[in-house]
Structure 1
Amino acid sequence: MSKGAQNVMKHEHEDHVVSNQPEFFEFTKENQKLAEKIIARYPEGRQASAILPLLDMAQRQAGGWLPRAAIVHVADVLTMPQIRAFEVATFYTMFNLEPVGKNFIQVCGTTPCMLRGAEELVQTCKNHLGVEKGQVTEDGLFSWCEVECLGACVNAPMVQINDDYYTDLDSEKFKKILEDLKAGKKIQVGSSRGRQGSAPEGGLTSLTEGADSSKPKPTKRGRDAH
């Protein structure tokens, strides 16, 4: 590791200091081939532009977080200064600098979710899982954190677990999801109320003619409107 990278990690925030850092990391053969395909998308001299997808791939391979050795490996693969890779990894909240649970829960705490019960979901994480923000349960199955807007405001409150969104939640529905995940059951993602995306619960309400929603109601435009 370069001296600059060592200095970055030496002065990193105490919340991100991880004592059990692995000493070695490299991509699997499959991920190395994928990395080469990603890098080939960029013109000569611009390979460093591939750092985000490569860091994401390294994080997934490492079990949901980025050890220092993984960041260094990505920098070396891209032949870029290691300090640059650390700058990226420590800037974006999508990268975790400490271990997370198998089910990594992100609770949205922005205004729409907060108004519709996000605090209850936070309390559910604390009380039902028995861990504070950033901690991993003893069985390694869960960890959680609070994040800013995840872009599902119409379906508030919501959480993201790994790559999936769970919306229209309350504390009881959230507990059920956690219990099912713990039991290894298949969970239906999306709205807990069965909505399709952010569509109205009662079905379509626009561009309908009578009871037959398959026939859009024509609208007059231009001269025909007068």
Structure 2
Amino acid sequence: MKPTRFFTPENLQIVKRIISRYPSGQERASLVPLLDLAQRQNGTWIPPSAMQEIANSTGLSFEQVHSFILGYPTSFEWRPCAPQLRICNSWMCCHKAKQQDYDIFEAARSVAQPYGVEVKTTGCLGACYGAPAFWFNDKIHTDATKEFIKQVISKELS
């Protein structure tokens, strides 16, 4: 009997694109965006079938994926009501923003608040070439400025 796939065919293509952003042998670094995609597809929580498919795709065990989810209950056990904007807090993004004398987190928060968008930091988004980077509505954006973040949010939420 063939195992049932969790991801829709469209999302399976997104899974492949997400994993392709990371070097060979480092597919496990794609865990956070894959879990987020699974949660968005399912609506609220991440079912075991999604955890198994993510584990198979990243070279992790089911237990490792499940343990990660349990370690971050506020992020992955239930979907937040408000849309989220995640600012990359990797060394490269922070360094580039600092070079521009720019607090990207505070800028994003001031722009996002009127739209009801929650701003959080996240680990490396794999977009160091365009630091500082942010993630909004399943898309990674680079060269973040206050104006650009506002433009992305207003376009996506209008």
Instruction: Give the TM-score of the pair, scaled to structure 1.
Output: 0.40
Look up the equivalent residue of 1:110 and give its one-letter code: S
1:143 has 2:118 as partner = yes
Match of 2:22? Answer: none
Residue 61 of structure 1: how far off its partner (Å): 2.9
The DSSP-based 3-state class of the residue aligned with 2:69 is helix
Distance, in Å, in 2 between the alignment partners of 1:161 and 1:130 is 14
Match of 1:174 among 146, 149, 155: 149
Cα distance in structure 1, aligned partners of 2:143 and 2:94: 12
Q: Structure 1 residues 55, 103: closer, same or farther in 2, change over 3 A?
A: closer
Alignment counterpart, residue 127 of structure 1, candidates 81, 104, 110:
110
Larger helix fraction of residues: 2
**Deviation of residue 147 (structure 1)?**
1.2
How much does 1:168 deviate?
A: 1.3
Task: Indicate the residue corresponding to 1:6 in structure 2.
Answer: none
1:116 to 77, 91, 96: 96
Shift of 1:159: 0.5
| 1:1-226 matched pairs, under 5 angstroms | 33-35=4-6, 58-63=38-43, 65-66=44-45, 70-71=46-47, 74=48, 84=63, 86-91=66-71, 96-100=76-80, 103-117=83-97, 120-130=103-113, 137=116, 142-183=117-158
The AA in structure 2 aligned to 1:90 is L
**Which one has more relative contact order, counting CA pairs under 8 Å at least 6 apart?**
2
Structure 1 residues 58, 117: closer, same or farther in 2, change over 3 A?
A: closer
Partner Cα distance (2:69, 2:132) in 1: 28
SS class of match (1:34): coil
Report the AA paired with residue 151 of structure 2: K
Aligned-residue sequence identity (percent) comes to: 22
Q: Cα–Cα, structure 1 residues 114 and 102, in superposed 2: closer, same or farther, change >3 Å?
A: same
Shift of 1:175: 1.3
C-alpha RMSD of matched pairs (Å): 4.0
**Deviation string, structure 1 residues 65-90 (Cα, Å, up to 9, x no partner):** 52xxx54xx27x97xxxxx4742422
Task: Supply the distance in 2 between the matched residues of 1:165 and 1:148 (Cα, whole angstroms).
Answer: 13
SS at match of 1:172: helix
In structure 2, runs of 5+ residues without a counterpart are 8-30, 53-62
Specify the structure having the higher radius of gyration (Cα).
1
Please identify runs of 4+ aligned residues in structure 1 that moved more than 6 A: 54-57
Distance 1:125 1:98, change over 3 A: farther
Gaps of 5+ in 1: 1-31, 37-51, 79-83, 184-226
Q: Find the aligned partners of 1:120 and 1:58 in 2 and give their Cα distance.
A: 31
| 1:173 aligned partner, one-letter code | F
Q: TM-score normalized by structure 2?
A: 0.54
Q: Deviations 1:172-209 (Å, cap 9, x if unpaired)? A: 111111122221xxxxxxxxxxxxxxxxxxxxxxxxxx
Counterpart Cα distance in 1 of 2:130 and 2:141: 9
